[in-house]
Structure 1
Amino acid sequence: MSNVFKGTVAALALLAAAPAAFATDKVTMQIDGAAVPFYAPLYAGVEQGFFADQDIEVEFIYAGASDILTNIAAGNVQFGFPNGDAVVAAVANGLPVKVVHTTYQRGIGALLAKADSGIETYADLKGKTVAVSSLGSPNYLQLQVGLKKAGLTLDDIKLEVVSTGAIVQALQSDQVDAIVFSELRKYNLEGAGVPVTMILSNDFLPSFGNVVVTSDKLLASDPDLVKRFTNAVTASYEWVIDGHVADALDISFEKYTPTWIDQKALLTTAFENSFVASVWQSDLTKEKGLGAADMDAWQANADTLKEYGVIDVAPKATDFVVDPSDIGK
């Protein structure tokens, strides 16, 4: 047998032994906002091979939540990672999208006030100056619901609208008495030596942060791809939860978010005390696995959005939310 022939046979044998290389699905995931370390589990999922293990090659791109959902519905991208409130609004407006992995088991909105302000409950806001980043933000709704449950209304406070980039500084410099924003800013403030009181909005208004979304069409036509994608997402977050917060952040800094590296200590605290502790995990995920869907909480969120005029009709949670364990059944 000639060397040329032997080489040809060997090459053909290698090709026959590795058909999976030709079966990799290339997909795009559009993420809410911009590349930031808070998405480190997804970045780590790529670099650690969890998506490759599912025969998936994923590209991350970024946009606002409403654009993501429009692109999902139109089939321009296969998967999205918007916030839950935006998904409910999109479904209420007729967009054919499905939540297939409730990655953030709760929202991360919170009321923040200086610890020496005397503000410990929403009832303590009477007569105080409170800031939100916009009147269209989920935090504005959270403020209204929190006040109502305390027997107050917006008329009982002085409301200020302060831009996202300035709202934390407004609290720190005593321009306002409290802000309704992200609980993650607690770590920024405490890192700057400002002790704060925090009231989580999710304690009285069930909501969700980032969740994995796909289109009705893709879920129906290729449930296997959707299942494998959610498996990869779950594996990525499980790896971070299982003692790899620092490793995931290092991956993010090195390849995706280099300008954040000087905030590693603060981010590590935020990941361990919020994300790992209670955002990505819940009693439900302990029973059913990461990404599990709490249908009652989803329905409560949709009903509240309708009650406060954010949407005209509250969609049924079971019509647009799918538990990962049910995909493909």
Structure 2
Amino acid sequence: MKTRILGLAAAAGLAFSSLSAMAQTPLTYLFPAPDFLPAFAPFQLALGKGYYAEAGLDVTFRIGQGGADVATQVAVGNAQLGGGMGDTALIVRANGLEVRGVALLGGQGITQIAWRNDRDINGIADLEGRSIGVIGFQDTTFYNLLAVLASEEIGRSDVDIQALGPGGIIQNMIGGSIDAMSGVPEWIVAVEDAGVPLTVTPARDYFASQAQAIIASDAYIAENPEAVRGFVQATLRAIDDIIADPAQAAQDYVGFLPRHAENVAQIERIMRMYVSNVYAQDGDRPIGAFDPAQLQTAEDFYVANELVNDVVPVEDAYTNDFVTE
């Protein structure tokens, strides 16, 4: 009888597992750049450590062509969620794309402006007439660059902006065929590790640059709020892991992405840079939450410098409903 009871219990357990598997909600997340970039470590950690699965989600990653392209794909339903910057919705909603940020992955801006120290550049004003690399012309870091240049009354036609992709930016900065770049912390670490001294200034020093954001369409939020909440909470849990122990997070990360296995030390340095320069919060705002005052400042800057087509109500560009449980 005992054997029969154990057998029934095992069968019940298998049935429960099967039901749990069937209950997993499929969700496609679209990255604005290759998904193996360390900038996306929280997502890879949340997937590899089973946080999304625990939230009842069957997550698939896909790759888009910059933040604006991701916003377009999310808006039309080709992906349920995607990645951009905190101010991406301010830019694309003016073009009729009804998306908004559902989580801001850090209290500081992610975009960094960096230039080679051998180019006689002493500040943003000296970038006039220079060649500057960006990932693409549909990425929010490109718009961030335009905003930074505009703060010194430098227009797009006053510089040579080149869309090079992540690998191209790093190679061209190392090789010296471009003078500067608008990018993210891991590209800076890669260039410096190749022996090229850089000067780095956060875009946030010139206007209200934002961290990465998870974006969703208004329609998907209305129809699938629990899926959005589960994805946001799982991703923020992974960020908490990085903040708590960057060294262990780096080890876990390379375990999930073996292509980085020989660069554990570099990955750890990148993660520490994210902890100090991107994830760090201002005041007591919880990680993941948007600051409407900062978004308003960013929008005012974009409008004043004619970088957006129309004014979007800031409250339409984000929601903090999914940040706290």
Q: TM-score range by the shorter chain?
A: 0.7 to 0.9
Unpaired runs of 5+ in structure 2? none
Code of the aligned partner of 1:311: V
- Name structure 1 gaps, 5 residues minimum: none
Counterpart of 2:240 in structure 1: which amino acid? Answer: E
Distance (whole Å) between structure 2 residues aligned to residue 193 and residue 309 of structure 1? 38
- State the partner residue of 1:100: 102
Q: Deviations over 1:32-71 (max 9, x none)?
A: 2222142222122122232233232322222223443333
Once superposed, what is the RMSD of the aligned Cα atoms?
3.4
Structure 1 residue 260 and structure 2 residue 260: aligned?
yes
Q: Which amino acid aligns with 2:259?
A: T
- Which residue number corresponds to residue 55 of structure 1? 56
Aligned to 2:27: 27
Cross-structure match for 2:303: 306
Q: Write the distance in 2 (CA, Å) between the matches of 1:120 and 1:264.
A: 33
Q: Aligned with 2:212: secondary structure?
A: coil
Single out whichever of 9-18 and 215-224 deviates more from structure 2.
9-18
Match of 1:218 among 209, 217, 220: 220
Q: Tell me the secondary structure at the aligned position of residue 288 of structure 1.
A: coil
Q: Any conservation in 2 of the 1:23–1:55 contact (CA below 8 Å)?
A: yes
Structure-2 change in CA distance of 1:307 and 1:136 (3 Å): farther
Distance in 2 between the 1:153 and 1:111 partners?
Answer: 16
Aligned residue among 281, 288, 309 for 1:291: 288
Specify the alignment match of 2:281 in structure 1. Answer: 282
TM-score by length of 1: 0.80
Instruction: Output the CA distance in 1 between the equivalents of 2:229 and 2:115.
Output: 42
TM-score by length of 2: 0.81
Give the number of aligned pairs: 320
Distance 1:151 1:115, change over 3 A: same
- 1:146-295 mapped onto 2 (5 Å cutoff): 146-150=148-152, 159=160, 161=162, 163-164=164-165, 165-243=167-245, 245-255=246-256, 257-273=257-273, 275-284=274-283, 287-295=284-292
> How far did residue 278 of structure 1 move?
2.6
What is the aligned counterpart of 1:323 among 317, 320, 323? 320
Q: 2:80 aligns with which of 64, 78, 84?
A: 78
How far is 1:318 from its partner? Answer: 0.7
Partner of 1:68: 70
Q: In structure 1, what is the Cα distance between the partners aligned to 2:251 and 2:124?
A: 38
